[in-house]
A and B are shown apart, each in its own frame.
Chain A
Amino acid sequence: MTVILQNLHGNHACAMGAIAAGCRFFAGYPITPSSEIAERMSRELPLVGGTFVQMEDEIASIAAVLGASAGGIKSMTATSGPGFSLKQENIGLAAAAEIPCVIANVMRGGPSTGTPTRPAQGDIMQARWGSHGDRPVIALAPASVKEVYDQTIRAFNLSERYRMPVVLLFDQVISHLLEPIELADMASLELVDRPWATGDSAGFEPYASTETGVPPMPRPGDGYRTHTTGLTHGEDGFPTQDPEVVTRATQRLLDKVENHRADIESYECHDTEDAEVLIVAYGISARAARAAVRRARGQGIAAGLFRPITIWPFPEEALKAAASKAKAILVPEMNAGQLVLEIERIVGHDLPVAGLNRIDGQAINPDEILQRIKELAAK
């Protein structure tokens, strides 16, 4: 096995992960703090027979990504808050028309132009609800450079397997953090391709349900000549307003995620077995939380950390299990309180849930978390 150790910063790790995952098309628009993903892709893609294009705006970038993916090529874009806002409508199209794609959103301070060069975790709820209507959502929140690399590969695999957009959420700190990482051994890397339509094109229904709920995708040029639309469509791909068909079509989209939670959910538990104060933290905040938990344990406080890597769908059952001994939950995040709402929804009837929030463009430090752990443990 060849192990290649490289010093990479988070944005470059994202690009290298995408290349390893088989991404061969990138369309983007310059935006801080994600631009290095586009820059790296512009250099890497030609070397592997792929295509990079800098589009005229954020909307064009995601639209071009959908076009390339509809053509059968694994595709991605990268952006940050303002661009993520602009891309929402087309993320909905990707969900509705079941076009796989990966969107890396490097979170910076908002609202609006906000603090472009400072970190934040303010797009958690936007990733879940940003595009109108009911749609399936997968969002992953890596906490290190190595994890950016690994989760980018996983984002492509999930996107292909379930034929839907997958969002990578990390923040400005991780995007510009330099860490040594081990690149994947390509020979042993598990790569997923979307299910492709094969066989007779006569009577082929592009959105017919299957055992997995994921219909095989017809590749243009293979003779299927199907219709792809953002209008709600029946199994034949053509628009419908038939209440029964509309219900079935929308429910199938949602079920793709709901019925495969075990495959999609991912998380880490640190010292949660007997934890009385449970921290739920993600991304860069989880690293501070881990340090705080270690120090708390050193001071005899039964603290633990539950770290969701899959933010959406949130790993509910795993959280409940991790919180089985908890007397209080603390959710540190670099926003005014977003994921804490989901935690309250899941365990709030049984447990007090507190937030620890920073909205000043500064990462949360271990001391702040330790202080709150002590307060909650003393109650």
Chain B
Amino acid sequence: MNEITPDKFEIRDYLRLDLMPHFMCPGCGHGIALRALLWAVHELGIDKDNLAIVSGIGCSGRVGAYIDANTYHVTHGRPLAFATGLKLARPDLKVIVITGDGDCLAIGGNHLIHACRRNLDITCLMLNNEVYGMTGGQVSPTTAETRLTTTTPAGNSEPAFDACKLAEAAGAGLVGREVTMQTPALRNLIKEGLAYEGFSFLEVMSDCTEIYGRKNDLGDSAEMVLAQKSDMRPEAYTNSAEQPFRPNRLVTGILARNDRPEYGDTYRRQAAALCGEGDDAA
């Protein structure tokens, strides 16, 4: 392996190359998100030995295994809960959750709400490809209305979830969104998240070309990411109630900040106080 030098980012330094070729579909945005994440890890000088990646189930869940770090591939929807235990037990580790729209917002939705509320120092990267890809293309909480999936033959009749609004309302320390097309901006957003002392929720607009794109005649990967770009409505975030999330409104960048004490610090401070006065109380 090459010596890692701070000035030059070589993605190979952070990948388990013996697992290549990876199994992501042609055109899938998850690989770009992975690159942006590792780029951010590199630029922040995070030691791979102290890096823990926790992921759940689905296409997003398989991304973590390619990272040359301490990687955990846990049950569907539960990576945030697993990561909460890991980070509380080992505050010295840098803990990153890689999850998807189904993993994080459907089966794992409760954990997202409470991870935001708790504000433990974890960065949650939600790769939103708007569909359950691994299982063959079923409707997800972020599938746009009217879209065709294998379980919405007449078109999706539910509105898409704005995960960032949810995270903000639940009290996440830092909330942001970016598209894969703007990879340096995505890297910068992830750097902000990783550097933030508290819970950061970052939504990455990925694209599922093979299944979702094909089913809805959205064109190839390039066309899909260009459509994301044209969907961007920076001004729309403030009056979101008037319009559904996608395809009409896609806002990127840092969307919310809620600076407050980090949960682990607070717990340890309170525990120390309990020890000071607790000798005869037990």
Contact = CB atoms under 8 A, between A and B. Distances in A.
Interface of A: 24-25, 27, 43-47, 49, 51, 53, 55-57, 59-61, 63-73, 75, 89-90, 93, 220-231, 238-239
A70 B111 contact: no
Interface residues of B, number: 42
B49 A64 contact: no
A221 B89 contact: no
Interface in B54-99: 54, 65, 68-75, 78, 81-90, 92-93
A349 B282 CA distance: 54
B201 to A, nearest CB: 16
A72 B89 CA distance: 8
Interface of B: 16, 19, 48-50, 52, 54, 65, 68-75, 78, 81-90, 92-93, 110-111, 113-114, 267, 270-272, 274-275, 278, 281-282
Given A51-B267, A93-B75, A221-B90, A64 B85 contact: yes
B282 A229 contact: no
A67 B86 contact: yes
10 contacts: A46-B274, A47-B278, A56-B81, A63-B75, A67-B86, A68-B88, A223-B49, A224-B70, A227-B71, A229-B73
A65 B85 contact: yes
B75 A46 contact: no
B78 A90 contact: yes
A66 B52 contact: no
Contacts, number: 146
Contacts of A65: 85
Contacts of A224: 70
B111 A225 contact: no
B54 A221 contact: no
B85 A68 contact: yes
Nearest to A92: B75
A46 B281 CA distance: 12
Given A59-B81, A89-B75, A221-B92, A71 B86 contact: yes
Contacts of A239: 65
Contacts of B65: 227, 229, 238-239
A47 B89 contact: no
A222 B278 CA distance: 34
Given A46-B270, A47-B278, A51-B89, A56 B48 contact: no
Given A47-B274, A89-B75, A230-B74, 10 more contacts: A25-B88, A66-B85, A67-B74, A70-B72, A71-B93, A73-B90, A221-B93, A225-B49, A228-B72, A238-B65
Nearest to B279: A47
- Name, among B52, B81, B92, B278, the residue most crowded by chain A CB atoms within 10 Å (CB to CB): B81
A231 B54 CA distance: 14
